[in-house]
Chains A and B, each alone.
Chain A
Amino acid sequence: MQLSEPNDEETLQWSRLRNGEQHALAYFYEKYADVLLKYGLSVSYHRELIQDCVQELFIQIWNRRQNLSTPRSVKYYLISSLRRIIMDELGRGRLATDSFPEDSLSLLEHESQDREEMEENLNSRLIHAVRSLPARQQEVVFLRYFERMSYDDISSLTGLDYQVLRNTIHRSIKTLHKELSLTLDLLMIIFLSVTL
Protein backbone atom coordinates (compact mmCIF):
# COMPACT_ATOMS: atom_id res chain seq x y z
CA MET A 1 0.00 0.00 0.00
CA GLN A 2 1.46 3.30 -1.02
CA LEU A 3 0.57 5.09 2.15
CA SER A 4 3.16 7.77 2.03
CA GLU A 5 2.69 8.87 -1.54
CA PRO A 6 0.11 11.61 -1.80
CA ASN A 7 -2.54 10.76 -4.32
CA ASP A 8 -3.80 13.84 -6.16
CA GLU A 9 -6.97 12.28 -7.47
CA GLU A 10 -7.94 11.04 -4.02
CA THR A 11 -7.17 14.36 -2.37
CA LEU A 12 -9.39 16.09 -4.91
CA GLN A 13 -12.24 13.61 -4.47
CA TRP A 14 -11.92 13.82 -0.70
CA SER A 15 -12.36 17.57 -0.71
CA ARG A 16 -15.38 17.14 -2.98
CA LEU A 17 -16.77 14.66 -0.52
CA ARG A 18 -16.30 17.16 2.30
CA ASN A 19 -18.18 19.71 0.22
CA GLY A 20 -21.14 17.38 0.10
CA GLU A 21 -20.76 15.91 -3.38
CA GLN A 22 -22.25 12.45 -3.28
CA HIS A 23 -20.50 11.19 -6.40
CA ALA A 24 -17.21 11.63 -4.55
CA LEU A 25 -18.47 9.18 -1.92
CA ALA A 26 -19.42 6.85 -4.78
CA TYR A 27 -15.89 7.18 -6.14
CA PHE A 28 -14.37 5.85 -2.91
CA TYR A 29 -17.02 3.19 -2.60
CA GLU A 30 -16.33 1.87 -6.10
CA LYS A 31 -12.60 1.98 -5.56
CA TYR A 32 -12.39 0.33 -2.16
CA ALA A 33 -15.51 -1.84 -1.75
CA ASP A 34 -13.67 -5.06 -2.63
CA VAL A 35 -10.58 -4.36 -0.53
CA LEU A 36 -12.84 -3.60 2.41
CA LEU A 37 -14.62 -6.92 1.91
CA LYS A 38 -11.36 -8.86 1.83
CA TYR A 39 -10.11 -7.05 4.87
CA GLY A 40 -13.41 -7.34 6.71
CA LEU A 41 -13.52 -11.08 6.16
CA SER A 42 -10.06 -11.31 7.71
CA VAL A 43 -11.42 -9.78 10.87
CA SER A 44 -14.62 -11.80 10.87
CA TYR A 45 -15.55 -14.30 8.20
CA HIS A 46 -19.14 -13.25 8.05
CA ARG A 47 -20.23 -11.75 4.77
CA GLU A 48 -23.54 -10.28 5.93
CA LEU A 49 -21.93 -8.62 8.88
CA ILE A 50 -19.21 -7.10 6.71
CA GLN A 51 -21.77 -5.88 4.21
CA ASP A 52 -23.62 -4.17 7.00
CA CYS A 53 -20.45 -2.64 8.41
CA VAL A 54 -19.32 -1.35 5.01
CA GLN A 55 -22.69 0.36 4.60
CA GLU A 56 -22.34 1.81 8.04
CA LEU A 57 -18.84 3.05 7.27
CA PHE A 58 -19.89 5.05 4.22
CA ILE A 59 -22.98 6.44 5.93
CA GLN A 60 -20.85 7.57 8.88
CA ILE A 61 -18.30 9.22 6.61
CA TRP A 62 -21.05 11.11 4.86
CA ASN A 63 -22.66 12.25 8.08
CA ARG A 64 -19.36 13.43 9.51
CA ARG A 65 -18.00 14.85 6.28
CA GLN A 66 -17.87 18.40 7.56
CA ASN A 67 -15.66 17.44 10.47
CA LEU A 68 -13.29 15.23 8.51
CA SER A 69 -9.72 16.17 7.85
CA THR A 70 -7.86 14.87 4.82
CA PRO A 71 -6.33 11.55 5.80
CA ARG A 72 -2.74 10.70 4.96
CA SER A 73 -4.13 7.71 3.10
CA VAL A 74 -7.83 7.27 2.37
CA LYS A 75 -7.38 3.53 2.15
CA TYR A 76 -5.79 3.34 5.58
CA TYR A 77 -8.51 5.59 6.95
CA LEU A 78 -11.26 3.37 5.47
CA ILE A 79 -9.67 0.17 6.70
CA SER A 80 -9.14 1.45 10.23
CA SER A 81 -12.66 2.91 10.41
CA LEU A 82 -14.15 -0.34 9.15
CA ARG A 83 -12.17 -2.19 11.78
CA ARG A 84 -13.63 -0.04 14.54
CA ILE A 85 -17.18 -0.64 13.27
CA ILE A 86 -16.68 -4.40 13.03
CA MET A 87 -15.17 -4.52 16.51
CA ASP A 88 -18.15 -2.60 17.90
CA GLU A 89 -20.51 -5.06 16.27
CA LEU A 90 -18.61 -8.10 17.48
CA GLY A 91 -18.20 -6.59 20.93
CA ARG A 92 -21.91 -6.25 21.20
CA GLY A 93 -22.02 -10.00 20.77
CA ARG A 94 -24.82 -9.64 18.30
CA LEU A 95 -23.35 -12.13 15.91
CA ALA A 96 -21.01 -14.99 16.34
CA THR A 97 -18.25 -15.34 13.81
CA ASP A 98 -18.86 -17.86 11.09
CA SER A 99 -15.91 -19.91 10.18
CA PHE A 100 -14.55 -20.18 6.70
CA PRO A 101 -16.41 -22.96 4.91
CA GLU A 102 -14.14 -26.01 5.12
CA ASP A 103 -15.58 -27.70 2.08
CA SER A 104 -15.06 -24.76 -0.23
CA LEU A 105 -11.90 -26.22 -1.66
CA SER A 106 -11.05 -29.78 -2.25
CA LEU A 107 -7.68 -30.81 -1.00
CA LEU A 108 -7.24 -33.76 -3.27
CA GLU A 109 -3.76 -34.50 -4.38
CA HIS A 110 -2.82 -36.43 -7.44
CA GLU A 111 0.45 -38.09 -8.13
CA SER A 112 0.64 -37.29 -11.78
CA GLN A 113 0.46 -33.55 -11.82
CA ASP A 114 2.39 -31.30 -14.08
CA ARG A 115 4.01 -28.23 -12.65
CA GLU A 116 1.22 -25.83 -13.58
CA GLU A 117 -1.46 -28.04 -12.14
CA MET A 118 0.57 -28.53 -9.02
CA GLU A 119 1.11 -24.83 -8.58
CA GLU A 120 -2.56 -24.13 -9.10
CA ASN A 121 -3.47 -26.72 -6.55
CA LEU A 122 -0.96 -25.27 -4.15
CA ASN A 123 -2.31 -21.80 -4.72
CA SER A 124 -5.81 -22.74 -3.77
CA ARG A 125 -4.54 -24.61 -0.76
CA LEU A 126 -2.66 -21.54 0.35
CA ILE A 127 -5.79 -19.39 0.02
CA HIS A 128 -7.65 -21.96 2.02
CA ALA A 129 -4.94 -22.18 4.65
CA VAL A 130 -4.86 -18.39 5.07
CA ARG A 131 -8.61 -18.30 5.60
CA SER A 132 -8.30 -21.06 8.18
CA LEU A 133 -5.94 -19.05 10.37
CA PRO A 134 -7.28 -17.43 13.53
CA ALA A 135 -8.88 -14.06 12.75
CA ARG A 136 -6.12 -11.97 14.31
CA GLN A 137 -3.49 -13.75 12.19
CA GLN A 138 -5.56 -13.45 9.01
CA GLU A 139 -5.88 -9.74 9.60
CA VAL A 140 -2.18 -9.23 10.03
CA VAL A 141 -1.33 -11.43 7.06
CA PHE A 142 -3.79 -9.49 4.94
CA LEU A 143 -2.32 -6.14 5.92
CA ARG A 144 1.30 -7.17 5.58
CA TYR A 145 1.39 -9.48 2.56
CA PHE A 146 -1.63 -8.43 0.55
CA GLU A 147 -1.82 -4.73 1.34
CA ARG A 148 1.95 -4.54 1.87
CA MET A 149 1.49 -2.19 4.78
CA SER A 150 4.45 -1.23 6.93
CA TYR A 151 4.86 -2.65 10.42
CA ASP A 152 4.33 0.83 11.87
CA ASP A 153 1.00 1.24 10.13
CA ILE A 154 -0.17 -2.23 11.09
CA SER A 155 0.85 -1.53 14.68
CA SER A 156 -1.13 1.66 14.93
CA LEU A 157 -4.10 0.07 13.19
CA THR A 158 -4.33 -3.08 15.28
CA GLY A 159 -2.82 -1.82 18.51
CA LEU A 160 -0.31 -4.69 18.50
CA ASP A 161 3.21 -3.67 19.36
CA TYR A 162 6.06 -4.46 17.02
CA GLN A 163 7.28 -7.61 18.74
CA VAL A 164 3.80 -9.11 19.12
CA LEU A 165 3.11 -8.26 15.51
CA ARG A 166 6.25 -10.03 14.34
CA ASN A 167 5.46 -13.07 16.44
CA THR A 168 1.93 -13.15 15.07
CA ILE A 169 3.23 -13.04 11.52
CA HIS A 170 5.82 -15.68 12.26
CA ARG A 171 3.22 -17.98 13.75
CA SER A 172 0.88 -17.50 10.79
CA ILE A 173 3.55 -18.23 8.22
CA LYS A 174 4.67 -21.27 10.15
CA THR A 175 1.15 -22.67 10.04
CA LEU A 176 0.84 -21.90 6.33
CA HIS A 177 4.17 -23.52 5.59
CA LYS A 178 3.25 -26.62 7.52
CA GLU A 179 -0.01 -26.94 5.59
CA LEU A 180 1.77 -26.76 2.27
CA SER A 181 5.10 -28.26 3.15
CA LEU A 182 5.12 -31.49 1.16
CA THR A 183 3.71 -30.18 -2.08
CA LEU A 184 5.78 -27.06 -1.79
CA ASP A 185 8.91 -29.23 -1.57
CA LEU A 186 7.95 -31.08 -4.71
CA LEU A 187 7.12 -27.91 -6.53
CA MET A 188 10.45 -26.38 -5.58
CA ILE A 189 12.37 -29.35 -6.87
CA ILE A 190 10.63 -29.06 -10.23
CA PHE A 191 10.86 -25.31 -10.13
CA LEU A 192 14.57 -25.20 -9.42
CA SER A 193 15.44 -27.86 -11.95
CA VAL A 194 13.83 -25.64 -14.55
CA THR A 195 15.18 -22.25 -13.52
CA LEU A 196 18.64 -23.01 -12.32
Chain B
Amino acid sequence: MDYRFFEPEDFAADDNFQHWILHPDQQSENFWTEWLREHPDKVHTVRKAEWIVRNITFKESWSASERADIWSNIQQGIAAEETPVVPLWRRFQWFAAASVLVVAAAVCLYMFRFKSVEIHTAYGEMKEVKLADGSLVKLNANSTLRYDRNFLDKAIREIWIDGEGYFDVAKREVKGKRVPFLVHANTLEIQVLGTAFNVNNRHGKVDVALEHGSVKITDEKDQNQAILLKPGEKASRISQKAEIVKQQVQIEEYTSWKNNVILFKRKSLTDIAVMMKDMYNLDVVIDNTELAGETFTGSFPTDSAEVFFKKLEKMYPMQISKDGNTYHLK
Protein backbone atom coordinates (compact mmCIF):
# COMPACT_ATOMS: atom_id res chain seq x y z
CA MET B 1 0.00 0.00 0.00
CA ASP B 2 1.42 3.36 -0.99
CA TYR B 3 0.51 5.64 1.84
CA ARG B 4 2.38 8.66 0.54
CA PHE B 5 -0.64 10.13 -1.22
CA PHE B 6 -3.12 9.38 1.53
CA GLU B 7 -5.36 12.09 2.92
CA PRO B 8 -6.56 11.88 6.53
CA GLU B 9 -9.82 10.20 5.50
CA ASP B 10 -7.87 7.59 3.53
CA PHE B 11 -5.82 6.70 6.58
CA ALA B 12 -8.85 6.66 8.84
CA ALA B 13 -10.61 4.31 6.45
CA ASP B 14 -7.63 2.01 5.97
CA ASP B 15 -7.65 -1.45 7.59
CA ASN B 16 -4.03 -1.42 8.71
CA PHE B 17 -4.24 2.07 10.05
CA GLN B 18 -7.44 1.27 11.97
CA HIS B 19 -5.82 -1.84 13.31
CA TRP B 20 -2.93 0.22 14.66
CA ILE B 21 -5.27 2.66 16.45
CA LEU B 22 -8.04 0.30 17.54
CA HIS B 23 -6.12 -2.91 18.31
CA PRO B 24 -2.49 -1.81 18.63
CA ASP B 25 0.15 -4.52 18.69
CA GLN B 26 3.94 -4.59 18.34
CA GLN B 27 3.91 -5.24 14.63
CA SER B 28 1.65 -2.36 13.69
CA GLU B 29 3.40 -0.08 16.15
CA ASN B 30 6.75 -0.87 14.48
CA PHE B 31 5.38 -0.40 11.02
CA TRP B 32 3.75 2.97 11.61
CA THR B 33 6.56 4.45 13.71
CA GLU B 34 8.98 3.50 10.99
CA TRP B 35 6.76 4.83 8.24
CA LEU B 36 6.31 8.16 10.01
CA ARG B 37 10.04 8.50 10.48
CA GLU B 38 10.47 8.07 6.75
CA HIS B 39 7.66 10.52 5.92
CA PRO B 40 7.88 13.32 8.46
CA ASP B 41 5.75 15.56 6.22
CA LYS B 42 2.82 13.19 6.78
CA VAL B 43 2.80 13.43 10.58
CA HIS B 44 0.17 16.12 10.50
CA THR B 45 -2.07 14.07 8.23
CA VAL B 46 -1.68 10.89 10.23
CA ARG B 47 -2.41 12.67 13.53
CA LYS B 48 -5.59 14.09 12.08
CA ALA B 49 -6.73 10.65 10.99
CA GLU B 50 -5.78 9.27 14.38
CA TRP B 51 -7.76 11.98 16.16
CA ILE B 52 -10.87 11.17 14.16
CA VAL B 53 -10.63 7.43 14.68
CA ARG B 54 -10.04 7.81 18.42
CA ASN B 55 -12.76 10.31 19.01
CA ILE B 56 -15.69 8.77 17.21
CA THR B 57 -18.08 8.09 20.00
CA PHE B 58 -21.76 7.68 20.72
CA LYS B 59 -23.10 9.35 23.82
CA GLU B 60 -26.71 8.25 24.06
CA SER B 61 -27.82 6.21 27.05
CA TRP B 62 -31.13 5.28 28.60
CA SER B 63 -32.39 7.39 31.44
CA ALA B 64 -32.99 5.51 34.69
CA SER B 65 -36.73 5.63 34.17
CA GLU B 66 -36.54 4.47 30.56
CA ARG B 67 -34.33 1.60 31.66
CA ALA B 68 -36.83 0.59 34.33
CA ASP B 69 -39.78 0.97 31.96
CA ILE B 70 -38.20 -1.23 29.34
CA TRP B 71 -37.43 -3.92 31.86
CA SER B 72 -40.93 -3.86 33.28
CA ASN B 73 -42.37 -4.06 29.76
CA ILE B 74 -40.12 -7.02 29.04
CA GLN B 75 -41.33 -8.74 32.19
CA GLN B 76 -44.93 -8.04 31.25
CA GLY B 77 -44.30 -9.39 27.77
CA ILE B 78 -42.77 -12.51 29.24
CA ALA B 79 -45.62 -13.03 31.68
CA ALA B 80 -48.18 -12.69 28.90
CA GLU B 81 -46.49 -15.40 26.83
CA GLU B 82 -45.97 -17.70 29.76
CA THR B 83 -49.62 -18.36 30.54
CA PRO B 84 -49.68 -22.13 30.23
CA VAL B 85 -51.96 -23.65 27.66
CA VAL B 86 -53.25 -26.89 29.14
CA PRO B 87 -53.83 -29.31 26.31
CA LEU B 88 -57.15 -30.49 27.71
CA TRP B 89 -58.28 -31.63 24.31
CA ARG B 90 -55.79 -34.44 24.41
CA ARG B 91 -57.67 -35.98 27.26
CA PHE B 92 -61.11 -35.44 25.83
CA GLN B 93 -60.43 -35.81 22.14
CA TRP B 94 -63.68 -37.40 21.09
CA PHE B 95 -65.80 -35.26 23.24
CA ALA B 96 -63.88 -32.23 22.03
CA ALA B 97 -64.29 -33.12 18.38
CA ALA B 98 -68.02 -33.37 18.78
CA SER B 99 -68.32 -30.18 20.77
CA VAL B 100 -66.23 -28.24 18.30
CA LEU B 101 -68.97 -28.66 15.72
CA VAL B 102 -71.65 -27.55 18.09
CA VAL B 103 -69.64 -24.63 19.41
CA ALA B 104 -68.56 -23.58 15.93
CA ALA B 105 -72.15 -23.51 14.80
CA ALA B 106 -73.12 -21.48 17.84
CA VAL B 107 -70.24 -19.07 17.35
CA CYS B 108 -71.13 -18.52 13.71
CA LEU B 109 -74.68 -17.74 14.63
CA TYR B 110 -73.55 -15.46 17.42
CA MET B 111 -71.07 -13.57 15.28
CA PHE B 112 -73.56 -13.24 12.53
CA ARG B 113 -76.04 -11.65 14.87
CA PHE B 114 -73.75 -9.40 16.87
CA LYS B 115 -70.89 -7.99 14.91
CA SER B 116 -69.55 -5.65 17.52
CA VAL B 117 -69.33 -5.58 21.27
CA GLU B 118 -70.29 -2.49 23.19
CA ILE B 119 -69.57 -1.95 26.85
CA HIS B 120 -71.08 0.99 28.64
CA THR B 121 -70.73 2.35 32.15
CA ALA B 122 -73.47 4.31 33.88
CA TYR B 123 -72.89 7.52 35.83
CA GLY B 124 -70.74 6.83 38.87
CA GLU B 125 -69.93 3.33 37.59
CA MET B 126 -66.57 1.85 36.55
CA LYS B 127 -65.83 -1.37 34.73
CA GLU B 128 -62.75 -3.38 34.09
CA VAL B 129 -62.73 -5.03 30.69
CA LYS B 130 -60.33 -7.80 29.85
CA LEU B 131 -59.94 -8.15 26.11
CA ALA B 132 -59.35 -11.45 24.35
CA ASP B 133 -55.69 -10.56 23.77
CA GLY B 134 -55.04 -10.05 27.48
CA SER B 135 -55.14 -6.25 27.33
CA LEU B 136 -56.96 -4.49 30.14
CA VAL B 137 -59.21 -1.51 29.81
CA LYS B 138 -60.55 0.24 32.85
CA LEU B 139 -63.59 2.18 31.81
CA ASN B 140 -64.49 5.28 33.78
CA ALA B 141 -68.03 6.44 34.50
CA ASN B 142 -70.40 7.31 31.66
CA SER B 143 -68.15 5.88 28.96
CA THR B 144 -68.50 3.47 26.07
CA LEU B 145 -66.04 1.00 24.62
CA ARG B 146 -66.70 -0.68 21.30
CA TYR B 147 -64.84 -3.29 19.31
CA ASP B 148 -65.51 -5.94 16.71
CA ARG B 149 -66.40 -9.32 18.00
CA ASN B 150 -63.68 -10.87 15.88
CA PHE B 151 -61.26 -8.25 17.20
CA LEU B 152 -58.56 -10.86 17.60
CA ASP B 153 -58.67 -12.28 14.07
CA LYS B 154 -57.83 -9.03 12.36
CA ALA B 155 -54.46 -7.72 11.26
CA ILE B 156 -54.98 -4.72 13.56
CA ARG B 157 -56.59 -4.78 16.98
CA GLU B 158 -59.01 -1.86 16.86
CA ILE B 159 -61.13 -0.33 19.57
CA TRP B 160 -63.31 2.78 19.87
CA ILE B 161 -63.85 4.85 22.99
CA ASP B 162 -66.23 7.58 24.05
CA GLY B 163 -65.65 8.97 27.51
CA GLU B 164 -62.62 7.94 29.53
CA GLY B 165 -60.58 4.77 29.76
CA TYR B 166 -57.23 3.58 31.00
CA PHE B 167 -55.54 1.12 28.64
CA ASP B 168 -52.91 -1.42 29.54
CA VAL B 169 -52.12 -3.03 26.23
CA ALA B 170 -50.66 -6.53 25.92
CA LYS B 171 -48.27 -7.34 23.14
CA ARG B 172 -49.51 -9.76 20.57
CA GLU B 173 -47.68 -11.65 17.88
CA VAL B 174 -49.05 -13.85 15.16
CA LYS B 175 -46.47 -15.92 13.30
CA GLY B 176 -43.70 -13.69 14.56
CA LYS B 177 -45.43 -10.51 13.38
CA ARG B 178 -46.58 -7.95 15.89
CA VAL B 179 -50.25 -7.11 15.80
CA PRO B 180 -50.74 -3.35 16.21
CA PHE B 181 -53.30 -1.95 18.63
CA LEU B 182 -55.26 1.10 17.57
CA VAL B 183 -57.57 3.19 19.75
CA HIS B 184 -60.03 5.53 18.04
CA ALA B 185 -61.09 8.56 20.05
CA ASN B 186 -63.23 10.96 18.08
CA THR B 187 -61.22 11.32 14.86
CA LEU B 188 -57.88 10.71 16.55
CA GLU B 189 -56.07 7.42 16.17
CA ILE B 190 -53.81 6.31 18.96
CA GLN B 191 -51.29 3.81 17.70
CA VAL B 192 -49.98 1.74 20.52
CA LEU B 193 -46.50 0.42 20.78
CA GLY B 194 -46.97 -1.76 23.93
CA THR B 195 -47.93 0.50 26.73
CA ALA B 196 -50.28 1.97 29.36
CA PHE B 197 -52.13 5.24 28.90
CA ASN B 198 -55.30 7.16 29.63
CA VAL B 199 -57.75 8.42 27.02
CA ASN B 200 -60.40 10.99 27.73
CA ASN B 201 -62.75 11.66 24.82
CA ARG B 202 -65.64 13.90 25.84
CA HIS B 203 -67.38 16.88 24.22
CA GLY B 204 -65.18 16.66 21.14
CA LYS B 205 -62.05 17.18 23.23
CA VAL B 206 -59.52 14.34 23.39
CA ASP B 207 -56.79 13.95 26.01
CA VAL B 208 -54.22 11.17 25.86
CA ALA B 209 -51.85 10.84 28.83
CA LEU B 210 -49.07 8.28 28.64
CA GLU B 211 -47.92 6.37 31.71
CA HIS B 212 -45.26 4.14 30.16
CA GLY B 213 -44.24 2.75 26.78
CA SER B 214 -45.00 4.87 23.76
CA VAL B 215 -47.91 5.77 21.52
CA LYS B 216 -48.30 7.57 18.24
CA ILE B 217 -51.33 9.76 17.69
CA THR B 218 -52.60 10.68 14.27
CA ASP B 219 -55.66 12.40 12.90
CA GLU B 220 -57.72 10.09 10.69
CA LYS B 221 -58.45 12.98 8.41
CA ASP B 222 -54.98 14.41 8.27
CA GLN B 223 -52.25 11.83 8.56
CA ASN B 224 -49.67 14.61 8.64
CA GLN B 225 -50.84 15.59 12.07
CA ALA B 226 -48.93 13.01 14.07
CA ILE B 227 -47.42 13.13 17.52
CA LEU B 228 -45.29 10.69 19.46
CA LEU B 229 -45.75 10.62 23.21
CA LYS B 230 -43.13 9.81 25.80
CA PRO B 231 -44.02 8.69 29.33
CA GLY B 232 -45.30 11.61 31.40
CA GLU B 233 -46.55 13.49 28.36
CA LYS B 234 -50.07 14.35 27.41
CA ALA B 235 -51.48 15.13 23.99
CA SER B 236 -54.73 17.01 23.72
CA ARG B 237 -56.91 18.43 21.04
CA ILE B 238 -59.81 20.64 21.98
CA SER B 239 -61.83 20.12 18.82
CA GLN B 240 -61.66 18.30 15.51
CA LYS B 241 -60.31 21.37 13.77
CA ALA B 242 -57.69 22.24 16.38
CA GLU B 243 -54.08 21.15 16.43
CA ILE B 244 -52.80 18.40 18.67
CA VAL B 245 -50.83 19.93 21.53
CA LYS B 246 -48.26 18.10 23.61
CA GLN B 247 -47.23 18.92 27.18
CA GLN B 248 -45.53 17.46 30.24
CA VAL B 249 -47.96 16.47 32.99
CA GLN B 250 -48.18 14.77 36.35
CA ILE B 251 -49.49 11.51 35.03
CA GLU B 252 -51.23 10.53 38.30
CA GLU B 253 -53.64 13.37 37.82
CA TYR B 254 -54.92 11.62 34.72
CA THR B 255 -54.80 8.01 35.83
CA SER B 256 -55.55 8.06 39.58
CA TRP B 257 -59.23 7.38 38.94
CA LYS B 258 -58.43 3.81 38.00
CA ASN B 259 -57.35 3.29 41.59
CA ASN B 260 -60.64 4.81 42.68
CA VAL B 261 -59.20 8.18 43.58
CA ILE B 262 -59.84 11.41 41.76
CA LEU B 263 -56.91 13.75 41.99
CA PHE B 264 -57.02 17.44 41.21
CA LYS B 265 -54.08 19.77 41.02
CA ARG B 266 -55.08 23.42 40.78
CA LYS B 267 -58.09 22.43 38.74
CA SER B 268 -60.58 25.23 38.18
CA LEU B 269 -64.04 24.82 39.69
CA THR B 270 -65.50 25.32 36.22
CA ASP B 271 -63.55 22.34 34.90
CA ILE B 272 -64.54 20.28 37.92
CA ALA B 273 -68.19 21.15 37.33
CA VAL B 274 -67.96 19.71 33.79
CA MET B 275 -66.32 16.57 35.12
CA MET B 276 -68.98 16.07 37.80
CA LYS B 277 -71.60 16.20 35.08
CA ASP B 278 -69.70 13.74 32.89
CA MET B 279 -68.98 11.20 35.58
CA TYR B 280 -71.82 11.44 38.06
CA ASN B 281 -74.52 13.35 36.20
CA LEU B 282 -74.34 15.96 38.95
CA ASP B 283 -75.02 19.56 38.05
CA VAL B 284 -72.71 21.99 39.77
CA VAL B 285 -73.94 25.54 39.58
CA ILE B 286 -71.50 28.24 40.60
CA ASP B 287 -73.83 30.97 41.79
CA ASN B 288 -71.05 33.16 43.11
CA THR B 289 -69.19 34.24 39.96
CA GLU B 290 -66.08 35.09 41.96
CA LEU B 291 -65.67 31.40 42.69
CA ALA B 292 -65.54 30.39 39.02
CA GLY B 293 -61.85 31.26 38.78
CA GLU B 294 -60.91 29.43 41.99
CA THR B 295 -58.97 26.19 41.83
CA PHE B 296 -59.03 23.03 43.88
CA THR B 297 -56.11 20.81 44.82
CA GLY B 298 -56.89 17.54 46.54
CA SER B 299 -58.47 14.16 46.11
CA PHE B 300 -61.65 12.24 46.76
CA PRO B 301 -62.78 8.65 46.35
CA THR B 302 -64.51 7.92 43.05
CA ASP B 303 -67.49 6.34 44.76
CA SER B 304 -68.24 9.42 46.81
CA ALA B 305 -68.44 12.81 45.17
CA GLU B 306 -69.92 13.92 48.47
CA VAL B 307 -66.43 13.97 50.02
CA PHE B 308 -65.29 16.46 47.40
CA PHE B 309 -68.01 18.95 48.27
CA LYS B 310 -67.24 18.63 51.99
CA LYS B 311 -63.56 19.36 51.36
CA LEU B 312 -64.41 22.27 49.12
CA GLU B 313 -66.64 23.79 51.78
CA LYS B 314 -63.76 23.68 54.26
CA MET B 315 -61.28 25.28 51.88
CA TYR B 316 -63.27 28.23 50.68
CA PRO B 317 -65.67 30.51 52.42
CA MET B 318 -68.67 29.18 50.55
CA GLN B 319 -71.96 27.56 51.20
CA ILE B 320 -72.91 24.43 49.35
CA SER B 321 -76.50 23.41 49.08
CA LYS B 322 -77.85 20.29 47.41
CA ASP B 323 -81.09 20.13 45.55
CA GLY B 324 -81.69 16.73 43.97
CA ASN B 325 -78.81 16.22 41.53
CA THR B 326 -77.76 19.85 41.65
CA TYR B 327 -75.18 21.43 43.90
CA HIS B 328 -75.19 25.17 44.35
CA LEU B 329 -71.95 26.90 45.32
CA LYS B 330 -72.49 30.29 46.95
Chain A residues with a Cβ under 8 A of chain B: 22, 25-26, 29, 33-34, 37-38, 41-42, 48-49, 51-52, 54-56, 58-59, 62-63, 88, 94-95, 122-123, 126-127, 130, 141-142, 144-146, 148, 151, 166, 169-170, 172-174, 176-177, 180, 184-185, 187-188, 191-192, 196
Contacts and interface: CB of A to CB of B under 8 A. Distances in A.
A130 B174 CA distance: 37
Contacts of B81: 59, 62-63
Contacts of B191: 94
Interface in B135-150: none
Interface stretch (B10-18, B114-122, B159-167): B10-18
B131 interface: no
Contacts of A176: 9, 52, 56
Contact of A184 (B7, B43, B48, B77): B48
Interface string B172-191: 00000110100000000001
Contacts of B230: 48
Nearest to B22: A148
Nearest to A185: B48
Interface of A is mostly: helix
Say which size band chain B's interface belongs to. 35 or more
Interface in B71-109: 71, 73-75, 77-78, 81
B52 A174 contact: no
B154 to A, nearest CB: 16
Contacts of B37: none
Nearest to A166: B13
A181 to B, nearest CB: 9
A51 B68 CA distance: 11
A45 to B, nearest CB: 9
Contacts of B55: 122-123, 126
B228 A177 contact: no
Contacts of B213: 52
B77 A55 contact: yes
B224 to A, nearest CB: 11
A144 B18 contact: yes
Query: Which of A42, A94, A145, A148 has most chain B Cβ within 10 Å?
Result: A145
Given A26-B71, A52-B194, A184-B52, 7 more contacts: A29-B70, A41-B60, A126-B57, A145-B18, A148-B23, A176-B52, A188-B47
Interface string B226-259: 0010100000000000000000000000000000
